Structure 1
């Protein structure tokens, strides 16, 4: 299982055609709002007429965000029969009525966005492995209103029938979710909007952003009815963008990373040859045919011949010189980092009752992942979509912690250099310069036009956990519509 690929697949068999026939205002169905009490908890229930979606949520649970005066909402968006997606929304700590709106998605595919909320950039964290959360001074909601969503259905607190089986089929669900969200919370319409994600976000970040912009164009032309999403930013850290580039990066990073070599020079040569003779042809067949079977075969081939052996010691069927955690090569595989304290917290009945959760929390269940694996989604490149998003003019940052192996910065840089836009030549020629936060070195970066790349020093896969000050500065700069710059 490649949990590099942290994805938000939400599956709803809705398409833009569902919104293609506007109804005269005097005949349009009306939204409905009601209030119910269940198991001692008060819920707001909002039924969105345009999409048929229903939102049921708790207001100000007192869990996680305890900053006085900062509102939060947690609950479910039902997008079909037995299809319930979990969300947790936090207002900005400063000027929420004017602050931008951003979403955060973890992946897997099939890993909960509660990972990001509690371990990375949410309003609270479990400092030093504590058993209870405390306020996170570097939370992204110090700057923006933040929305975390568990998808695909079956992930985290989401429950019910999961219909998504690929990144492309997931995009309409995410758009529909936001349409219903705007209808319930109209005060956030027309705010600057950003997508931030990691890992498998290298797939769905570009696809979802591109889909949103296509829907915006259709809304403008009158062929789709909906709320324009004012997309201004896309940020993807340690993303899985393009398998051809990134399987090669496994070989190169294993030998040439700046921490400790995982393989020898001879093994580097051997696995480079294996990559060229076995992995690349399989990926080319996937690309040329586009079939699920060819792409699934490519995924299995490249894993068995490249990823699997390089990430395991000889005792475990691999060739790695030492045991390591694929999310942080400085740590052993038996001691995953960061600590998983938060997941035990989310299993407490008092917590789940307070936030309105109806399902038992599961961080990375197999079922959603398996649906994507069956379509070979992992083996498909999303550089075309990423290029389209950069070409649209919004600020885009590709960034990576340099201790991560599974979606390492070698592959991230290769993907960034392969993006096609007006600044491609200048971007490829640009050197990596020092990136500082208040004068302290945090990494190296380059930026041309609206496209940015950043290598973050001393960070594993979950960059905001390791380098929270760097992460918050990156978030503010990209969400603010400007390029990365040292401070």
Structure 2
């Protein structure tokens, strides 16, 4: 199943992460290189062998006076160049927390989030150039947007990633090199925010980081502790077993439009119970690539049947399928040669290329559940927010709420039985939510798949609250 055909589409040594003991004795190297009239800062990290090359203050996107930005590449392996774009906080940058944003796919660029959702600039009223976004996440935090795996967005080179598990070590390595280049962020609170296939990415990346932190503490891993304090995932794809049936349930009964008839629903439920669910269980039982790929293909037939039954945009059921929303103006902007040159990009922008997606498909990654990793992260005590726009079908709130209610932690029973309360922003009703301890769930009214695009004020409020290690609360 291709979660993001448009906006999504939706062991360390094995990944070259083993630290060369001799390299640690060498010093990091910094230099400045000018090519084609563009000045690049080059940083070589002795401990990991990673190399960063980036442009400072390109003048693109973030034009707030005094706010620094950095865009460029981290080499995470031989011919493996991962694109990042980092924006300092607009307020109190020297003390503000650090957050990383990952779009989903698998295999979609985080430039989607940067330009369409929560970054410093956005496109309004059909304009061909961006203007400042007053509800950017960098109002509150220093934010880094990352194109991963290799081959996605502006990242280029060899792509060794074929699963969520194999993606995590490269993300850890990027953060390590980022800390080495920008040591002032080492001790800052760090949060991961992601969406869609981020229901896989978010729990696994956070879980992997926590495992590496434990290794750093006991001396088995050489690196910096990452002070992970928050995880936020909107419209996430976590568990086929809990979310596949929600495609049928949402299509039949949501607050916007009925997509299938009663007889179609009955037929689809039969397919789910007799074909899809057994295939998912077989994937979970054997864990084999073939069984998990088969589960994706089998359950995908249900999704295809629903999309054939009605004309709707799977990312916003209020829109027709031939008018995808939000508009992809930004992707045209990122093909402008002057923009590409200014930001230091060295490849042609690809929003959701097929190559990385197909590698994930080959291992059946889509059908593998990350509920246990999500539960482990909640159990660790960091602030976790699971939220969803209610007009999205592809990762709809019905399935997301079922996942939230299935998370295993000390407050599980209390959370599952808790009733939803009205969530307000400056007194205006924006959704329904519930909290228990460090775990929150929010259903956002009037929002499609990319929640921060549709409800920017709400998104910024919940981002700030979560990054402040608070349970979300009405204002």
TM-score, length basis structure 2:
0.97
Q: How does 1:38-437 map onto structure 2 within 5 Å?
A: 38-304=35-301, 306-312=302-308, 320=309, 322-437=310-425
In 1, Cα distance between equivalents of 2:22 and 2:33: 30
Deviation of residue 172 (structure 1)? 0.5
Cα 1:210–1:478 change in 2 (3 A) is: same
Deviation of residue 14 (structure 1)? 2.5
Deviation of residue 336 (structure 1)? 0.6
In 2, Cα distance between equivalents of 1:354 and 1:270: 54
**Where do 5+ consecutive residues of structure 1 fail to align?**
313-319
Cα 1:15–1:234 change in 2 (3 A) is: farther
In 2, Cα distance between equivalents of 1:332 and 1:397: 30
1:482 to 445, 470, 473: 470
In 1, Cα distance between equivalents of 2:409 and 2:416: 11
In 1, Cα distance between equivalents of 2:375 and 2:353: 31
Asked if 2 retains the 8 angstrom alpha-carbon contact of 1:94 and 1:142, the reply is: yes
Secondary structure (helix, strand or coil) at the match of 1:311 reads helix
Deviation of residue 273 (structure 1)? 1.5
Deviations 1:97-128 (A, max 9, x none): 00000000001111100000000000000012
Deviation of residue 28 (structure 1)? 1.0
Secondary structure (helix, strand or coil) at the match of 2:117 reads helix
In 2, Cα distance between equivalents of 1:277 and 1:29: 61
Report the RMSD for the aligned CA atoms in angstroms: 1.7
TM-score, length basis structure 1:
0.95
**Where do 5+ consecutive residues of structure 2 fail to align?**
none
Secondary structure (helix, strand or coil) at the match of 1:128 reads coil
Asked if 2 retains the 8 angstrom alpha-carbon contact of 1:402 and 1:459, the reply is: yes
Asked if 2 retains the 8 angstrom alpha-carbon contact of 1:194 and 1:233, the reply is: yes
Q: Which runs of 4+ in 1 moved over 2 A?
A: 3-9, 11-16, 21-24
Deviation of residue 15 (structure 1)? 6.2
Deviations 1:201-244 (A, max 9, x none): 00010001001001101100011110000001000000000001
Cα 1:144–1:188 change in 2 (3 A) is: same
